[in-house]
């Protein structure tokens, strides 16, 4: 992905910023102190298993804090320039307040949302096009009407959440879809979900959980999207937001050539 973003034709579009790690105070807006203590203690022991597929290695916590810091810095940059993309790995949208799962330790996009609110953005729209439902994001915001959450995802699929009738306090807009549909159906239905969230409601910032496992050929999903579809709906999102900031954070994507192609498409559309 980084190699793709450093190709000569892409270089003029990008200003690189290296972010400091997330502070405990910023993380504590979203995650419990007990959970952070657990991560610290496990890291001190050299790591261990937190979930069936989520493992903390000897230097994982360093990466986790770096990823959270990138999400925070992307918000600050987006508020200055109107757009930013945080290359956040590990991803975050499955992480709950006190539980790691699905490769996720900290919920980067919710950290970003709370940071945006601390910087004056009262209303935040989060959209998630990862092929898996952002169950952690939904759980963390579903009781807060100041944040709206739109997720299009393969259903039924891991983690088993994200039915259309899961509405929170009227601020959750799930778009569950089976795999194998025509590309245009996913694009249409995703944007319809966004429009439903925007009906008579105006956010101050848009945050994107940008998962590229929704592209055709990813080993962990069965959607049929192509990089051109990422461009199409990113441009549509920017049009809907006007001059308000659009900030992305990286979620899934597990075939490296597709991940690189998707990220380049997203960055081109943002720029």
Mind listing the domains of the chain with CATH numbers? 2-270 (3.40.800.20)
Q: What are phi and psi of 243, to 5 degrees?
A: -90, 0
State the pLDDT at residue 191.
Answer: 98
State the pLDDT at residue 55.
Answer: 97
State the pLDDT at residue 79.
Answer: 98
pTM for the whole thing? 0.98
Helix (H, G, I), strand (E, B) or coil at 93: coil
Contact at 8 Å (CB) between 267 and 13?
yes
* pLDDT profile of the chain (271 residues), mean per 10: 96 96 97 97 96 94 98 98 97 98 98 98 98 98 98 97 98 98 98 98 98 98 98 98 98 97 98 92
Active-site positions? Answer: 94
State the pLDDT at residue 123.
Answer: 98
State the pLDDT at residue 246.
Answer: 98
State the pLDDT at residue 15.
Answer: 96
What is the phi-psi region of residue 142: left when phi exceeds 0, alpha when psi lies from -120 to 50, beta otherwise? alpha
CB-hemisphere CA count at 13 Å for 231?
Answer: 9
State the pLDDT at residue 229.
Answer: 98
Report whether the peptide linkage leading into residue 156 is cis, meaning its omega lies within 30 degrees of zero. Answer: yes
């Amino acid at each position: 992905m980084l190699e793709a973003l450093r190709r000569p034709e892409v270089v003029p579009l990008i200003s690189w910023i290296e972010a400091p790690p997330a502070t405990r105070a910023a993380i504590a807006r979203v995650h419990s102190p007990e959970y952070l203590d657990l991560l610290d203690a496990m890291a001190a022991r050299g790591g261990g298993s937190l979930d069936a597929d989520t493992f903390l290695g000897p230097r994982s916590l360093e990466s986790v804090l770096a990823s959270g810091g990138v999400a925070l810095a992307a918000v600050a940059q987006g508020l200055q320039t109107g757009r930013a993309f945080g290359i956040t790995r590990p991803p975050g949208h499955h992480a709950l307040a006190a539980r790691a799962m699905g490769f996720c330790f900290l919920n980067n996009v919710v950290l970003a949302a709370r940071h945006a609110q601390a910087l004056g953005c009262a209303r935040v729209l989060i959209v998630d096009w990862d092929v898996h439902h952002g169950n952690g994001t939904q759980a963390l915001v579903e009781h807060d009407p100041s944040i709206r959450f739109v997720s299009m995802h393969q259903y039924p699929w891991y983690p088993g959440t994200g039915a259309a009738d899961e509405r929170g306090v009227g601020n959750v807009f799930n778009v569950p879809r089976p795999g194998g549909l025509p590309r245009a159906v996913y694009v249409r239905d995703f944007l319809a979900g966004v429009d439903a969230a925007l009906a008579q409601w105006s956010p101050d910032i848009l945050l994107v959980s940008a998962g590229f496992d929704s592209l055709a050929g990813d080993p962990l999903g069965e959607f049929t999207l192509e990089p051109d579809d990422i461009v199409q709906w990113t441009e549509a999102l920017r049009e809907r937001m006007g001059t308000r900031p659009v900030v992305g954070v990286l979620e899934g994507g597990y075939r490296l050539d597709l991940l690189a192609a998707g990220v380049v498409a997203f960055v081109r559309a943002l720029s």
